[in-house]
Structure 1
Amino acid sequence: MTDRILYLVTCGAPLAARIEDGVRAARDRGWTPYVIPTDAALQWLEEQDLAGVPVLTGNRAPGDPKRSPRADAVAVVPTTFNTLNAWANGNADTFPLTTLCAALGSRTPTVAVPFAKADLAGHPAWLASLAVLRYAGVTIVDPQDGSTSSLTPVRSGTGDRVAQAFRWDWIFGELESFGSPPES
Structure 2
Amino acid sequence: MTDRTLYIVTCGAPLASRVADGVSAARLRGWTPYVLPTDAARPWLEGQDLADVPILTGNRKPTEARRAPKADALAVVPATFNTLNAWANGNANTYPLTTLCAALGSRTRTVAVPFAKHDLAGHPAWLASLAVLRYAGVRIVDPHDGSTASLEPIESGTGDRVAENFRWDWVLGELESSGEIRGVSQ
Give the aligned partner of residue 75 of structure 1.
Answer: 75
Q: Output aligned runs, 1:13-28, within 5 Å.
A: 13-28=13-28
Moved more, 97-106 or 46-55: 46-55
Give the aligned partner of residue 5 of structure 1.
Answer: 5
Q: Output aligned runs, 1:150-165, within 5 Å.
A: 150-165=150-165
Moved >3 Å (runs of 4+): none
How far, CA to CA, are the matches of 1:149 and 1:100 in structure 2? Answer: 22
How far, CA to CA, are the matches of 2:55 and 2:26 in structure 1? Answer: 15
- Deviation string 1:37-82 (CA, Å, 9 cap, x unpaired) is 0000000001100140100000111211110000000000000000
Q: Percent identity?
A: 79
- Unmatched segments (≥5 aa) in structure 2: none
Give the aligned partner of residue 37 of structure 2.
Answer: 37
How far, CA to CA, are the matches of 1:51 and 1:70 in structure 2? Answer: 22
Q: Output aligned runs, 1:133-152, within 5 Å.
A: 133-152=133-152
Letter in 2 for 1:7: Y
How far, CA to CA, are the matches of 2:144 and 2:50 in structure 1? Answer: 24
What is the aligned residue count? 181
Give the aligned partner of residue 170 of structure 1.
Answer: 170
Report the 3-state secondary structure (helix = DSSP H, G, I; strand = E; otherwise coil) of the residue aligned with 1:116.
coil
TM-score, normalization: structure 2?
0.95
Report the 3-state secondary structure (helix = DSSP H, G, I; strand = E; otherwise coil) of the residue aligned with 2:82.
helix
* C-alpha RMSD of matched pairs (Å): 1.4
TM-score, normalization: structure 1?
0.96
